[in-house]
Amino acid sequence: MRVAVLASGAGTNLQALIDRVHGREGVELVAVASDRPAAQALERARAAGVAAEAFVLGADQNRAGRDRAMASWLAERETELVVLAGYMQLLSPEFLSRFPGRVINVHPALLPAFPGIGAVEQALEYGVKVFGVTVHFVDEGVDTGPVILQRAIELPDAREPAEVLERLHPIEHQLLPEAVRVIAAGAVRFDPSNPRHVIVDR
């Protein structure tokens, strides 16, 4: 399976994909795109020999135009699955229509609880003691697509977002490559009786 990754920052989840699934079990990372030219994720991609490109908004280009250019670049590389790994932009409906049912995201919460930006901050404010990570398909809503994998962790004494995120990052680094692996193996199926549910055969 030919996989592209979108990332906005340091790219630690991208590195986990490079280390754990790239070149294994039929998975090949073929492209990494970012909305930030200085994103460390682009350097990680180039160091691994993966094509990397930044797509930023220009004075004469809106978000839809940026996404259109990015989608075409990914399509030229015959991308079969798009992975959002810390990509901090909402994708346009047109972009998603280019890769129907083939865009996934990793989110630092147990969806459907605490969607959107600041998920950990939301959870702390609510007073939860159990946090977690979700990998899900992306639809036109905000973190509303069908869940693929989830893992929870109890942090009853957590008080600061940075503390929680530090504990969640290793889970992200395990769960996201695992999701790519099972999708590549054809082990993820949409439930015809419930389009918001997927079946994972492991």
Read off the pLDDT of each residue in 52-62 and give the average, rounded to a whole number: 85
What is the predicted pLDDT for the residue at 46? 98
Say which CATH architecture domain 2-200 belongs to: 3-Layer(aba) Sandwich (3.40)
Q: What is the DSSP letter of 148?
A: E
Question: pTM to 2 decimals?
Answer: 0.95
What is the predicted pLDDT for the residue at 196? 74
* 97 pLDDT above the threshold of 90: yes
* 189 pLDDT above the threshold of 80: yes
Query: What is the per-residue DSSP string for 36-51?
Result: -TT-HHHHHHHHTT-E
Indicate if 107 belongs to the active site.
Answer: yes
Choose the catalytic residue: 22, 107, 136, 173: 107
Question: What span, in angstroms and rounded, lies between the C-alpha atoms of 44 and 11?
Answer: 7
CB 172 within 8 A of CB 13: yes
Question: How far does Cα 54 stand from its chain's mean position?
Answer: 17
What is the predicted pLDDT for the residue at 59? 66
Q: What is the pLDDT of residues 79-94, one digit of tens each?
A: 999 999 999 999 999 9
Residue 155 pLDDT class (50, 70, 90 cuts): very high
Beta strands 81-84 and 2-6 are parallel
What is the predicted pLDDT for the residue at 166? 96
What region, left, alpha or beta, does residue 117 occupy, with left being phi > 0 and alpha being psi -120 to 50 degrees? beta
